[in-house]
Structure 1
Amino acid sequence: MDRKSFLKSGHMPSLISGFLYFDVSFMIWNLLGPLAVIIMNDYPMDAAQKANLVALPVLGGSVLRLVLGYLTDRFGPKRTGMIGMALTFIPLVWGWLAVSSLSQLYIVALMLGIAGASFAAALPLASRWYPPEYQGLAMGIAGAGNSGTVFATLFANRIAQHFGSWHVVFGIAIIPLLIVFLIFAFTAKDGPTQVAPRRLADYGRVLKQRDTWLFCLFYSVTFGGFVGMSNYLTIFFNTQYGLDPVRAADFTTLCVIAGSFFRPVGGWLADKLGGLRMLMLLYGVVAIMMACVSTLPPLALITVLLFIGMMGLGMGNGSVFQLVPLRFKHEVGIITGIVGAAGGLGGYILPKILGNLKQSVGSYTPGFLILSGIALLCIIVIFAFQGSWKRSWIGSGGKARGADAAVGS
């Protein structure tokens, strides 16, 4: 890659702003994952209830991404991002000062989905500044904001134990959100390739296309798998291996680092090797790792397996969004919201699978085997449809619109 060419091809302050917005939003979105094992001291919960608590923010983010995707196309990603951050202050203040019951905490958890919806504004902010040959890298850099999960898993429980209250964590999280809000307001700019405002009917037309649903499947596994595992692993380490809240969150952090910091690598490799080829490889890795994890081996080994599996999921995120702007060039905002919502649904379903099966059969083994099977299903789907994708993404006269790079020709 020509580094100078990449730097000149877009708007670096907007790319950095998108990353920071995504980063702080992911930190806030994932707060309840590590905190759940401390919160249960105040509100005792069974395995299914704990899974529900950490899954609700993901469900909220999934639904609200559709809303922010629509607003992004209508008002631009900068204005939409500022609205999203402003609304995110509400659940933080409530969690800090007013929550007094598990039912109230469930509402706060759902409202934390506002932060998760940042995806629908942050990625178009980056995408609309960069040409097709740099889409994978630009989207990967902006999307690496999912590294904010690392801050949640690394510091949330330590702060809670230091101050003797998990409520304080919500209050402290307001500080970085305010800083990023100001940076975003003064440095981000909407890109030169803004699309015309879309109507709700446009979403319906996109949803009628087969490829929309296939991309939703792919992203529900990569992004959904990353978010779902990030939120649930602290509970898993605490329940399965008896680790205290801080140690359980530290082991989760090791795994989350892999998924977070390898996302840009996935986007870059997808630009070079082909997004579909990369996805098939990564789904294979994830399927193998999840099958091995289902045997519930010793702590050291399972951490290595989850590290590799999360790395594959993170790299897969970059690969999926290398393909999206190529296939849906004029509907990036809409498809970002739809596919992002599907990713959120995947992140909601994963803890429910693991937690509910743990509650019903007393073991995590069936849950991890199901996750392995879903990854294998994605490989089969890509293998079945990649030929038609290659033909449809090549324009008249044989001029490729990024298709050869996408399919790895």
Structure 2
Amino acid sequence: MQSSFWQAGHRPTLFASFLYFDLSFMVWVLLGPLAVQISSDLHLTPAQKGLMVATPVLSGALLRIVMGVLVDHLQPKKAGLIGQVIVLAALLFAWLHGIHSYQQTLLLGVFLGVAGAAFAVALPLASRWYPPEHQGTALGIAGAGNSGTALAALFAPGLAVAYGWNNVFGLALIPLAFALVVYAIFAKDSPDAPPSKSLHQYLNVLKDKDAWWFMFFYSVTFGGFVGLASSLTIYFHDQYGLSPVVSGYFTAACVFAGSLVRPVGGNVADRIGGIRTLLVMYTCAATFLFILSFGLAQPLIGLAVVVAAMLSLGMGNGAVFQLVPQRFRKEIGVMTGLVGMAGGVGGFYLASSLGYSRQVTGSYQAGLMIFAGLAILAMMGLSSVKMRWRTTWGSVTATTAKV
């Protein structure tokens, strides 16, 4: 990584953004790694399990727009503080009062969605400190907070066995409180903040067809990543009969792979261009999801294929966000919210469709095949716009960065 990158922005903010994002994502998907134990105690059907782990994903998606508005009007730091306090309060309530029904898991899921909306705060907070040629790397580092989803898979099932799954909500308060203190002390808003926007300006961005393209592209890369991150503990348990703890370890390996390569995807996109990077990643993701849909016999082969799919989706996430700030520099707050929302909607669709696929057909094949088809559609869509993008906003006269 270029040494000039470390001189370009504000490192304490970059790392505070990463930590806030990381631990927020940890609790955002917490119901996924606990799903096997929760569904056993509450007697949930496969479809109910799917909807339970998908609800925080959808809630987080929709709340990203709300967070985007708060970022614009209050500045990112204050918006992040509000979000963290709401999540801490919801977990405290769940821990002290307990979760006793399917409806209560869905309600908790809605509040955990506030943690998923951290995306719309952490990325603008970091992004505003860096020039265009370093956007891919800066947003890749801040966005590597995706790895928090792996922390949940790694620790939650084992803690649930030791202390009961309801107490995991209380234990999660400890790292979250630490992140809140670090964030409050070290994160700073960039002096180079764009003026706040009216609702009318938000709607104006949606009149630009490129905004819709970015939303679709991210709904596949991030939707695939977070949909799988939420569902894999259930998948490995149902498909291979693994214990919740071992299923959690398998899930953590997949999610770590997908999140740790996000900065690599951003960095590769900075070097060879986001379009080229994305085309390769969609091809790989579609191929591996298609292979996975045939229900591989050996757990370790299944694990290897899921890891390969997550690597492709994770690098794709970094590549999308190398392109967004170049096309929508002035509207980056709005676009981070809109694109992030679309990513969450994609994740909700994948997680819930896997549950319904299992309930209706007895396997996950239909859910996985349809999502592989969406990756192919995204690849075709990107191929159709790449020439226009490269000759307009991505031309040498318009930007120093590679498109």
Q: Deviations over 1:84-113 (max 9, x none)?
A: 101111221122121222211210011100
Letter of the 2:215 partner, please give it. Answer: C
Question: Which residue of 2 is the match for residue 128 of structure 1?
Answer: 128
Shift of 1:394: 4.9
Shift of 1:303: 0.7
Q: Work out whether residues 94 and 108 of structure 1, in 8 Å CA contact, stay in contact via their aligned partners in 2.
A: no
Question: Which residue of 2 is the match for residue 342 of structure 1?
Answer: 342
Q: CA RMSD in A?
A: 1.0
After the TM superposition, which residues 82-101 of structure 1 pair with which residues of structure 2 at under 5 Å, given as runs?
82-98=81-97, 99-101=99-101
Q: Work out whether residues 42 and 100 of structure 2, in 8 Å CA contact, stay in contact via their aligned partners in 1.
A: no
Cα separation, 2, equivalents of 1:232 and 1:394: 37
Question: Which residue of 1 is the match for residue 107 of structure 2?
Answer: 107
Residue aligned with 1:233, SS: helix
Cα separation, 2, equivalents of 1:45 and 1:285: 34
**What is the aligned-residue identity percentage?**
48
TM-score, length basis structure 2:
0.98
Cα separation, 2, equivalents of 1:289 and 1:255: 13
Question: Which residue of 2 is the match for residue 401 of structure 1?
Answer: 399
Question: Which residue of 1 is the match for residue 321 of structure 2?
Answer: 321
Q: Work out whether residues 236 and 242 of structure 2, in 8 Å CA contact, stay in contact via their aligned partners in 1.
A: yes
Q: Work out whether residues 25 and 116 of structure 2, in 8 Å CA contact, stay in contact via their aligned partners in 1.
A: yes
Q: Work out whether residues 75 and 189 of structure 2, in 8 Å CA contact, stay in contact via their aligned partners in 1.
A: yes
Question: Which residue of 1 is the match for residue 147 of structure 2?
Answer: 147
Count of residue correspondences? 401
Q: Deviations over 1:281-320 (max 9, x none)?
A: 0000001001110111121111101001001111111100
Cα separation, 1, equivalents of 2:114 and 2:260: 23
Letter of the 1:390 partner, please give it. Answer: R
Shift of 1:367: 1.4
Question: Which residue of 2 is the match for residue 282 of structure 1?
Answer: 281
TM-score, length basis structure 1:
0.96
Question: Which residue of 2 is the match for residue 187 of structure 1?
Answer: 186
After the TM superposition, which residues 4-403 of structure 1 pair with which residues of structure 2 at under 5 Å, given as runs?
5-98=4-97, 99-163=99-163, 165-297=164-296, 298-394=298-394, 399-402=397-400
Q: Work out whether residues 56 and 111 of structure 2, in 8 Å CA contact, stay in contact via their aligned partners in 1.
A: yes
Residue aligned with 1:260, SS: helix
Q: CA distance change for structure 1 residues 394 and 232 in 2, over 3 Å: closer, same or farther?
A: closer
Q: Deviations over 1:256-282 (max 9, x none)?
A: 111011111000000001101000000
Cα separation, 2, equivalents of 1:67 and 1:107: 18
Residue aligned with 1:129, SS: coil
Cα separation, 2, equivalents of 1:42 and 1:286: 35
Shift of 1:400: 2.9
Cα separation, 2, equivalents of 1:246 and 1:264: 29
Cα separation, 2, equivalents of 1:69 and 1:87: 16
Cα separation, 2, equivalents of 1:357 and 1:168: 31
Cα separation, 2, equivalents of 1:14 and 1:390: 32
Cα separation, 2, equivalents of 1:94 and 1:2: 46
Letter of the 1:342 partner, please give it. Answer: A
Cα separation, 2, equivalents of 1:274 and 1:113: 32
Shift of 1:361: 1.2
Unmatched tracts of structure 2, length 5 or more: none
Letter of the 1:183 partner, please give it. Answer: V
Q: Work out whether residues 69 and 334 of structure 2, in 8 Å CA contact, stay in contact via their aligned partners in 1.
A: yes
Q: Work out whether residues 326 and 402 of structure 1, in 8 Å CA contact, stay in contact via their aligned partners in 2.
A: no
Letter of the 1:123 partner, please give it. Answer: L
Q: Work out whether residues 95 and 105 of structure 1, in 8 Å CA contact, stay in contact via their aligned partners in 2.
A: no
Residue aligned with 1:33, SS: helix
Cα separation, 2, equivalents of 1:402 and 1:259: 28
Cα separation, 1, equivalents of 2:254 and 2:184: 33
Residue aligned with 1:42, SS: helix
Letter of the 1:78 partner, please give it. Answer: K
Q: Work out whether residues 290 and 369 of structure 2, in 8 Å CA contact, stay in contact via their aligned partners in 1.
A: yes
Q: Work out whether residues 30 and 156 of structure 2, in 8 Å CA contact, stay in contact via their aligned partners in 1.
A: yes
